[in-house]
Structure 1
Amino acid sequence: MVYGKSWKIRFYEKKDFKGQAAECVEDCASVYETFKFQEVHSSVVMDGAWVLYEQPNYCGHQYFLERGEYNNYTDWDATSPAVGSFRMITKF
C-alpha cells in the first residue's frame, strides 16, 4: 500500500518551532552534512510520513512521524534530540 503522494517535513533546531529551520522533501543520509544541524528539537510533518534515525546513514533508533506538529523531540518518543538521518515512508 502506498502511504502518500507527496512528502514534506520541516525541522527546527530548538523546541516549540524556534531557531533555524530546514525543510525537506526527500531522504537525507546526513542531517549534519545537509543542514548543519547538530540536533533537532521540534518538527512539523506537512505531508506523508517519515522515519527519523538517531545516527547518519539510516542507523540507530528509529522514530515514526506522521502528519502533525511535534513541539519537542519527546513528542516522537525520543530520549535525545539526536537526528542523524531520515527517509520518507512510501509503502507499508
Structure 2
Amino acid sequence: MIDQRHNAPRRYFVDAQGHRVLIGLSLQETAEFEALDVTATETPQIVTETGMGKGAAAVDDVRWLELYSKHEGAWRVWIARSQAERIPDLGFVNHV
C-alpha cells in the first residue's frame, strides 16, 4: 500500500477568515456537506429519535450526493489543471 499522507494534495483551501472550504463548494455548502456527512454515520435509531423518518434521511442522502458530486467534479478539474501546469514545455515534442 502506498502512503499518500504526505503526497496527496488537499481537497480544500483555507479562506481569508481561516475557514476550511472544499474545492468547488462555498463555505455554506462545505458546512452543509460536513453536517450531512456526520449525520450519515449516525445509527438509524438516533435518526429516528430526532423525529426524522426514512424520507428525511433519503433527502439528506440525495443532497449529500449532490454536494459530493459538485466537489468531486471541481476537484478533478483542479487536479487536471495542476498537472498541466507542471508539465514542462518541451518545444521539440509534438503533442498533436
Give the alignment's TM-score, normalised by structure 2.
Answer: 0.21
Higher helix share: 2
Q: Which has the higher contact order (CA 8 A, sep 6+)?
A: 1
